């Protein structure tokens, strides 16, 4: 998937070398004997520094953020819902992606050379594609689950075990679908004789065919399913909200009418009749609260889905254009790669901003870590103090004994 990413530095060196040769020829024709190296804005030092810094920041924030998401659902019982199980699966795939991407950073530091051998080249290239496929399939499953739960509430709800089984199936499908890449990726020498990791075993036609099928099955079809699901979910929630408010309005009108018709001397049956309607008001409030909670969950999932496709679409499109031999600006190509790496680190911030439950869980995780550090410090401090007291007591005892 990222053979161009791993060898982009080699392309820079080749471009710079060609510019130097052309410049040397010009100077030679102009009676100059020394070549004058030139560099384009794309290959300048600040761009390389920015690229490396971005890699480091995404790796740190993505690793910590996804680990905190997983820990929040594992630690707190109230966070164990069917939707959150799928979000944990998404966090695992993001964590795998951001962890494997650090090896591309190592190749970047090594001037584009692959230093980790042919076997790991095949594993890394294949697993990165698998993690992307898992992310897309997980978002699709979440959208379908929400659609069934909200638009068809009378159907049997998915259990935790079914959610776990679905996650296992998603990983199995992704591994099988992307397994061919294991035989496509290999280490091979480039024009400079340096060993690089890239999808070099397949022919250009084979790579193009695979990525066309991949883009259809693991991009266009899931995108269509998610758009369909979220559209009908939104319509269903709006209808439910309007129906709830209509019921509440009718209940209030009836209660007001009954109160007006009831005087102080009426019997208790009429009072209990009105009381029952007041209990209906409490039930209405519960329904409104539940509807608002559902709306927040759907809004959160919608934002996660939109962000995912906004950050991945440029890369998918540009990659296909490159395989169709369309000339792509190198800076644009690198920019699309930065976007997909950034996607691995954004979900934790979205959850913290939009989900009160995740926000409280995150606070609990970080506060627990802080309390643990303070406890370790206090224990260490108490141990030091007790040792000091023991030594002083021992000295005093010795002094008293000598006297």
Q: Where are the domains of the chain?
A: 45-254+290-371
Confidence of residue 386 (pLDDT cuts 50, 70, 90): very low
Decide: 90 and 305 in contact? Cβ < 8 Å: no
3-state secondary structure of 110: coil
Comparing 143 with 24, the larger pLDDT belongs to 143
Percent of the chain with pLDDT over 70: 66
Residue 275's pLDDT is 53
**Residue range 251-277, pLDDT digits in tens:** 555 555 554 555 544 555 554 554 555
| Encoded tokens for 350 | 């979205």
3-state secondary structure of 157: coil
Residue 272's pLDDT is 52
Question: How far apart (Å, rounded) are the C-alpha atoms in residues 159 and 148?
Answer: 13
Question: How far apart (Å, rounded) are the C-alpha atoms in residues 72 and 68?
Answer: 6
Long-range contacts of 217-225, Cβ-Cβ distance < 8 Å, separation of 24 or more: 217/177, 218/132, 218/133, 218/136, 218/137, 218/177, 219/136, 219/312, 219/316, 222/136, 222/137, 222/139, 222/140, 223/309, 225/140, 225/143, 225/144
Decide: 202 and 119 in contact? Cβ < 8 Å: no
Residue 221 pLDDT exceeds 80 = yes
Residue 148's pLDDT is 87
**Residue range 173-195, pLDDT digits in tens:** 999 999 888 888 888 887 777 78
Residue 36 pLDDT exceeds 50 = no
| Contacts for 380 with CB less than 8 Å, ≥ 6 apart | none
Residue 67 pLDDT exceeds 90 = yes
User: For 83-105, b where at least 16 C-beta lie within 10 A, e where not — what string?
Assistant: bbbbbbbbbbbbbbbbbbbebbb
Q: Computed from CA positions of residues 250, 245, 356, 230, in that sequence, does the dihedral angle turn out positive or negative?
A: positive
Residue 245's pLDDT is 58
- Of 172, 3, 230, give the one whose Cα is nearest residue 104: 3
Model's pTM, two decimal places? Answer: 0.75
Decide: 213 and 207 in contact? Cβ < 8 Å: no
- Mean pLDDT value across residues 346-369: 85
Comparing 153 with 247, the larger pLDDT belongs to 153
Long-range contacts of 115-123, Cβ-Cβ distance < 8 Å, separation of 24 or more: 116/197, 117/187, 118/186, 118/187, 121/185, 121/186, 121/187, 121/197, 122/181, 122/182, 122/183, 122/185, 122/186, 123/182
Residue 79 pLDDT exceeds 60 = yes
Q: Which fold has domain 45-254+290-371?
A: Rhopdopsin 7-helix transmembrane proteins (1.20.1070)
Comparing 118 with 21, the larger pLDDT belongs to 118
Question: How far apart (Å, rounded) are the C-alpha atoms in residues 31 and 307?
Answer: 57
Cβ burial, residue 351 (10 Å; 0-12/13-18/19+): buried
Residue 387's pLDDT is 47
Decide: 179 and 126 in contact? Cβ < 8 Å: yes
């Amino acid at each position: 998937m990222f053979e161009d990413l791993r060898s982009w530095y080699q392309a820079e060196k080749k471009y710079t070398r060609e510019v130097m040769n052309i410049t040397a020829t010009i100077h030679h024709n102009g009676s100059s004997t020394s070549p004058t190296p030139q560099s384009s804005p794309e290959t300048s030092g600040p761009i390389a520094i920015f690229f490396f810094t971005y890699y480091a920041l995404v790796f740190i924030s993505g690793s910590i953020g996804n680990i905190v998401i997983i820990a929040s659902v594992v630690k707190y019982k109230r966070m164990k819902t069917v939707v959150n199980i799928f979000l944990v699966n998404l966090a695992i795939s993001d964590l795998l992606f951001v962890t494997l991407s650090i090896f591309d950073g190592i190749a970047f530091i090594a001037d584009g050379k692959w230093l980790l051998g042919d076997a790991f080249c095949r594993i890394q290239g294949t697993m990165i594609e698998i993690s992307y496929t898992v992310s897309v399939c997980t978002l699709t499953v979440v959208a379908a689950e929400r659609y069934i739960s909200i638009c068809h509430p009378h159907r049997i709800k998915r259990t935790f075990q079914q959610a776990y089984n679905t996650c296992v199936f998603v990983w199995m499908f992704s591994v099988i679908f992307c397994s061919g890449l294991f035989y496509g990726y290999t280490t091979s020498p480039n024009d400079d004789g340096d060993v690089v990791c890239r999808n070099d075993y397949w022919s250009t036609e084979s790579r193009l065919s695979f990525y066309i099928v991949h883009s259809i099955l693991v991009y266009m079809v899931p995108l269509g399913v998610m758009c369909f699901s979220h559209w009908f979910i939104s319509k269903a929630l709006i209808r439910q909200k309007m129906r709830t408010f209509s019921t509440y309005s009718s209940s209030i009108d009836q209660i007001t009418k009954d109160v007006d018709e009831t005087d102080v001397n009426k019997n208790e049956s009429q009072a209990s009749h009105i009381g029952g309607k007041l209990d209906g008001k409490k039930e209405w409030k519960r329904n409104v609260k539940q509807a608002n909670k559902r709306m927040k969950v759907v809004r959160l999932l919608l934002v996660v889905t939109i962000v995912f496709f906004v950050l991945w679409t440029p890369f998918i499109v540009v990659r296909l254009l490159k395989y169709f031999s369309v000339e792509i600006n190198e800076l644009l190509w690198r920019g699309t790669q930065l976007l997909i790496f950034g996607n691995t680190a954004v979900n934790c911030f979205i959850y913290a901003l939009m989900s009160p439950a995740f926000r409280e869980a995150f606070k609990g995780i970080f506060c627990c870590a802080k309390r643990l550090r303070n406890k370790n410090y206090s224990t260490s401090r108490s141990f030091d103090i007790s040792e000091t007291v023991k030594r002083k007591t021992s000295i005093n005892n010795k002094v008293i004994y000598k006297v």
